[in-house]
Chain A
């Protein structure tokens, strides 16, 4: 896409200080994804930090047309993260906001523009960072199962994440991965879009679910909680047996927590 950051991108060295951008949805709904990310990053040789001043990247305001609040939240995020070697998010959406949209938000700002660009150059989606910066793809995970991987739109088109998650998943012992058709099609989440236009979003999700079902996989993986919650919610409403997890949980070997939207083990009958 347009306006790629110009700032130089540092090379990864073991012991690098990596700040985890937790993301709102991981923080609120699924902290286990955050801990899976920490485990993977530490295994890859990073020193992981979680800046306390972080909340949200500002994308909901940005996509709602509230540029003023988007700018305020972007400044808060830049200030909280710019002291670290790398910024990693278990999300292409929040990552894309920082890497792709912050430089655009501050394009005309002499002070914040360069700071945003510098941060953007050091910001990565989790699987991309592990595979391409750390040069690690085998984390020794084991999982018997049949999975399919969903590309989130922002991972794919804003962060250029395509090969990395597949490369990492290929090293998971016992896991078979089948590609679905139309991997570049949106699942219908789109942030507030799915709440504003539930019927249209549902139709998009239904097409996505059909391509997931056609793979025969019993596990859906992706790198963005938005897509995952949308698709888990849709499939569970429709009675599907497909389990849904963030890719980091599988890569870190942390699948002891129930899958997204599933009851705790032993509580399946407690409806």
Chain B
């Protein structure tokens, strides 16, 4: 029931995205804004780089002791009167959520933003089972109305322009005055808020994600900028937290350390507007809170990467900085990646979760420029790991035969310096003569990928090694 990946169509998806004018407008605005805000905020925290090291080491420690911390977390949640449900995959997680909802005969569920919820396709599943999910994050609300999926980990509606939001609201909120003014962002936001209030009040169950699970406190944490998460988890009778297993940290102090890096990396804020901790159901002395508190712990393939060359991707805290700084993402946006996660981290996670045969182009859809690694707060070596996926594809013969043969043929020549010299001498002359006096070529047989958008500069004529030999002959 979770989203069917179209990642194998990345190339066509990307070409379509490049022709989508509103998308290109939205991406341009986002790019300029996100890079600058992060740079400015990071510049104000001299120990930011040191915090990245601490964060990386902390996550590595957790990953090495994942079983210990998850069991501790479970016990702490139980001690506070909550429930923990261990779910190996999407199917079991969806079934568990439905079971909890059915028990209270839920009709409406409010939702805070959760990427793991997207990963397991919880909305479609609930809807198919007669339960209405209402997204309460503004961005999620917009794309829910538009029937779309998130195009960015933290900015789900990043691909939507303001004009498109207005159009969407006029269509969806048809009960309101068609003549009303919806020109500016504040008015749009006020209208969404008004609509969402009703949803909060009638919801039987609230579902949120978790940025961190705190092992010793049995608490979960979310960060939001709209306060929607708080209303989602405190108003309904039941609070369900969807969280993947790698979200656990040992203590509150550790969560605070990561929170200092998270917001700066994500939105360029020093801290998100709301940082909310949930621990167990309402106690007799509490003024509000849910009657039941459930944590649905989801593996969905993650544990199979423990101890492998892909383990480091489990450090990801879903800040989106790699997307914000990725030139490929800047060009095509998130939907082109064809599944829930996009950008550099999406190119790592998608093959891991849906299978590399269903996401073949993604590890290649990168110039390996390394800007993602340069900004990743958890210092995940993304280019190195994209290369690991490429190696996996090559080893498992997923790489197209023409490409494999091409590489092997080239390597055969490159491993024989004399043959290589001959080949380059011929190549330089052929290309030079094809170019004639123009100095460049507008088309070259078998090089359509190069010449589609650029000319090919012509070689100067002789190779360096040839000329060097001639010169050395002259020198001696």
**Chain A residues with a Cβ under 8 A of chain B:** 1-2, 22, 24, 26-32, 34-35, 50, 52-56, 58, 60-67, 69, 72-73, 76, 104, 153-154, 157-158, 182, 184-186, 188-191, 193-205, 207, 229-230, 232-234, 236-237, 257-258, 260-264, 267, 270-271
Contacts of B390 in A (CB 8 A): 63-65
**B327 contacts partner chain A, Cβ-Cβ < 8 Å:** yes
Chain B interface size, as a band, is 35 or more
Contacts of B79 in A (CB 8 A): none
Q: Does the CB pair B392–A262 fall under 8 Å?
A: no
Chain B residues whose CB sits within 8 angstroms of the CB of A30 once the complex forms? 457, 459-460
Is chain B's interface secondary structure helix, strand, loop, or mixed overall? helix
Q: Is the CB–CB distance between A157 and B453 below 8 Å?
A: no
Interface segment out of the listed B84-92, B139-147, B461-469: B461-469
Residues of A within 8 A of B407 (CB): 60-61, 64, 66, 69
Q: Is B11 touching A205 in the complex (CB atoms < 8 A)?
A: no
Contact B391 A65 (CB under 8 A): yes
In the complex, what residues of B have CB within 8 A of residue A32's CB? 460
Name B residues whose Cβ lies closer than 8 Å to a Cβ of A: 11, 14-15, 18, 35, 327-328, 330-332, 364-371, 373-374, 381, 384, 387, 389-395, 399, 403-404, 407-408, 410-411, 413-415, 417, 420, 424, 427-428, 436-440, 442, 447-460, 462-468
Docked complex Cα distance between A264 and B239 (Å):
73
Nearest Cβ distance between residue A261 and chain B, in whole angstroms?
4
A17 CA to B370 CA in the complex, in Å? 32
A202 contacts B424, CB within 8 Å? no
**Chain A residues within an 8 Å CB radius of B428:** 28-29
How long is the Cα–Cα vector from A202 to B455 in the complex, in angstroms? Answer: 12
Q: Is the CB of A233 within 8 A of B455?
A: yes
Q: Pick from B374, B393, B453, B466: contact of A201, CB below 8 A.
A: B453
| Cβ–Cβ < 8 Å partners of B467 in chain A | 31, 35
The complex places the Cα of A1 from the Cα of B468 at a distance, in Å, of 35
Residues of chain B within 8 A of A182, CB atoms compared: 35
Asked if B415 contacts A200 (CB within 8 A), the reply is no
- A190 to B460, Cβ gap below 8 A? no
Q: Report the minimal beta-carbon distance from B408 to chain A, rounded to whole angstroms.
A: 7
Task: Let me know if B414 and A264 touch, CB within 8 A.
Answer: no
- Whether the Cβ atoms of A237 and B370 lie closer than 8 Å is no
Do B424 and A31 touch (CB < 8 A)? no
Contacts of B394 in A (CB 8 A): 64-67
Contact B438 A270 (CB under 8 A): yes
Is B450 a contact of A56 with CB atoms below 8 Å? no
- A202-B373 Cα distance, complex, nearest whole Å: 23
A52: chain B residues at CB < 8 Å are: 417, 465
* 5 closest cross-chain pairs (CB), A and B: A190-B367, A233-B454, A65-B390, A195-B449, A65-B394
What is the CB-to-nearest-CB distance from A120 to chain B, in angstroms, rounded to a whole number? 16
For the complex with contacts A195-B449, A204-B328, 18 further pairs of A-B residues with Cβ separation under 8 Å are A28-B428, A29-B460, A31-B466, A61-B410, A63-B390, A66-B404, A184-B374, A186-B369, A193-B368, A200-B18, A200-B365, A203-B332, A232-B457, A233-B451, A236-B457, A261-B458, A263-B439, A271-B437
Interchain CB contact (< 8 A) of B367 among A62, A76, A189: A189
**Do A237 and B327 touch (CB < 8 A)?**
no
**The one of A1, A55, A237 that contacts B373, using a Cβ cutoff of 8 Å:** A1
A-B contacts, 30 of them at CB < 8 A, read A28-B424, A31-B468, A34-B464, A52-B417, A53-B417, A54-B417, A55-B413, A60-B410, A64-B403, A69-B411, A153-B368, A157-B373, A182-B35, A184-B371, A190-B366, A190-B368, A191-B367, A193-B367, A198-B448, A200-B18, A200-B328, A202-B453, A203-B18, A204-B367, A230-B454, A233-B454, A236-B455, A262-B440, A267-B437, A267-B439
CB distance from A237 to the nearest CB of B (A): 5
Q: Which residue of B lies closest to A204 (CB)?
A: B327
- Shortest C-beta distance, B464 to chain A (Å), equals 4
| Residues of chain B lying within 8 A (CB to CB) of residue A229 | 456-457
Whether the pair A261, B455 counts as a contact (CB closer than 8 A) is yes
B83 to chain A, nearest CB (A): 40
Which B residues are CB-close (under 8 A) to A34? Answer: 464, 468
Shortest Cβ gap from A202 to chain B (Å): 4
Q: A30 CA to B407 CA in the complex, in Å? A: 23
Are A194 and B463 CB-contacts (below 8 A) given A55-B417, A200-B328, A263-B439?
Answer: no
CB-CB under 8 A from A72, the residues of chain B are 411, 415
Complex alpha-carbon distance, A63 and B366, angstroms: 10
Task: Point out the residues of chain A lying under 8 angstroms from B463, CB to CB.
Answer: 27-28, 31
Asked whether B414 lies within 8 Å of A55 as measured between CB atoms, the reply is yes
**Inter-chain contact B391/A153, CB cutoff 8 Å:** no
Q: CA–CA, A185 to B370, complex, Å? A: 10
Smallest Cβ-Cβ distance to B336: which chain A residue? A200
Give Cα A34 to B456, complex, Å. 20
B447: chain A residues within 8 A (beta carbon):
195
**Which residue in B367, B437, B440, B464 is a CB contact (below 8 Å) of A261?**
B440
Complexed CA–CA distance, A229 and B454 (Å)? 9
- How close is B382's CB to chain A, nearest CB, in angstroms? 11
Which residue of A22, A73, A205, A257 contacts B414 across the interface (Cβ within 8 Å)? A73
User: Shortest Cβ distance from A157 into chain B, in angstroms?
Assistant: 4
Choose from B14, B399, B413 the contact partner of A199 (Cβ within 8 Å): B14
Question: Given the complex, which residues of B lie within 8 Å of A271, measured CB to CB?
Answer: 437-438
A138 CB, min distance to chain B CBs, angstroms: 26
Give the residues in chain A near B457, CB-CB below 8 Å: 29-30, 229, 232-233, 236, 260-261
Query: Measured between alpha carbons, how far is A203 from B457 in the docked complex, in Å?
Result: 19
B413 contact set on A, CB distance < 8 A: 55
Q: How far is the CB of A89 from chain B (nearest CB, A)?
A: 12
Q: A1 to B56: give the CA distance in the assembly, Å.
A: 13
Of B18, B440, B466, the residue contacting A233 (CB under 8 A) is: B440
State which of A28, A54, A65, A186 has its C-beta within 8 Å of the C-beta of B371: A186
A64 to B342, CA, bound (A): 21
CA distance A52 to B464 in the complex (A): 11
